Structure 1
């Protein structure tokens, strides 16, 4: 008897659901009839729409969003946001390290470079001529700051160089190009002729052949050309390593370029390749 009641309840539930389904499908079909007059098109679409809506209601849980009352921030909360934490660097009594130290990031190298630059400024600036003009030390300190920032920039860029590619590809290609250039000019002159010439005569003969073929580096044409090439190279380097305010000052940029060109680069080149 109880089983019969359960079956009867299922039948009643099925009837109710069927009525609701038919009612929903009829409503959707009626709404779609305003857009399309084809019943055979509207009825399947209505069935699919109602079925999809039923599946969506079973799978997705909908809930009302609880609105929270927006409290107007008080002045004390504004001050709490502005309050610095105990670990803030601005509360530290020790000043942050200079920019060049952060780029070098090696205490041993920093100390060595600092001592070296201090000694150079002392011997060639302060003791040589600056102390005879004024006892003030502001200008040497500014010079030191500019030099250290430039060295820090060079150090930072040097760290970005891929040493493996530099040693195994770039330098090898450069040496190979020079050897190929030498062999081509030696073949043009003649290996037998080159063997009979002295070192100076061989250099002069190679120089004339390179000039004729327009393959000689501009710095090797004359001392004036060497100076111009070094000047351009140093100017390009200074434009990168100097701070923007110094690089944009023509006087500072020109003086720095000539000092590095004439007092640093040319003596080094003459030391490496004496005349």
Structure 2
């Protein structure tokens, strides 16, 4: 027979040493670990913001080990009671004294859970319940990200250096297609992996206009990258080469035209404080109005 005290101790250690760090890795804005007599069926309460910047609160009931029930056992009835209590009891923020309704309850099991147990739990609760097992925890560990000032700033710097290097490389390409011309093309991909990374870590905290600029950059780079694989290398020019090179030239012009905006995004992120929870960076991609500088010079 398993020692209940040992199981409880292991569960607390797992929550503290593994689950809470994972929640930080996933980027939750606030994590309150309340494992104790006042938990109301909740081990952890997390706060986050939706796309409109509005705060919402979710809670977690953690179970260490497997949940292998194949029928409505006493264990499942106890879990159901805890889950319902967690959802129905408002959460009082200890720092502000304010009450918040729980939006979603997560049952996180550090092990396997049978389909029968899942079906019973879902059938006895509402759409507010989500079940996460060991497999999903492993996926979350790979998929999660933490949006911090440091990694956003580093990704922005890597993005701008990569864009600058790609533009220089692109300018060195020979795009002539007359008979006998040999195409000189980059030997490596123009895909902006650093821009992808910035897009991943900074998208939620960047102004929509800047996000659109980054998206245009990704598309232009992807377009040019795909064209590189379609141009037959060699001295013999033909219609397909001409069409491909013309398309590549358009992609390059698009890429180059937003380079200044990309630089402004990089400098803006580097020189501005990281947004507060629920807030965004201001728009960095807007080009200065030439008339404003002219007025200053006249003064």
- Please report the TM-score for the alignment, with normalisation by the length of structure 1: 0.18
Greater Rg by CA = 1
Bigger RCO of structures 1 and 2 (CA < 8 A, at least 6 apart) = 2
Considering fraction of residues, name the structure with more helix: 1
- Please report the TM-score for the alignment, with normalisation by the length of structure 2: 0.17
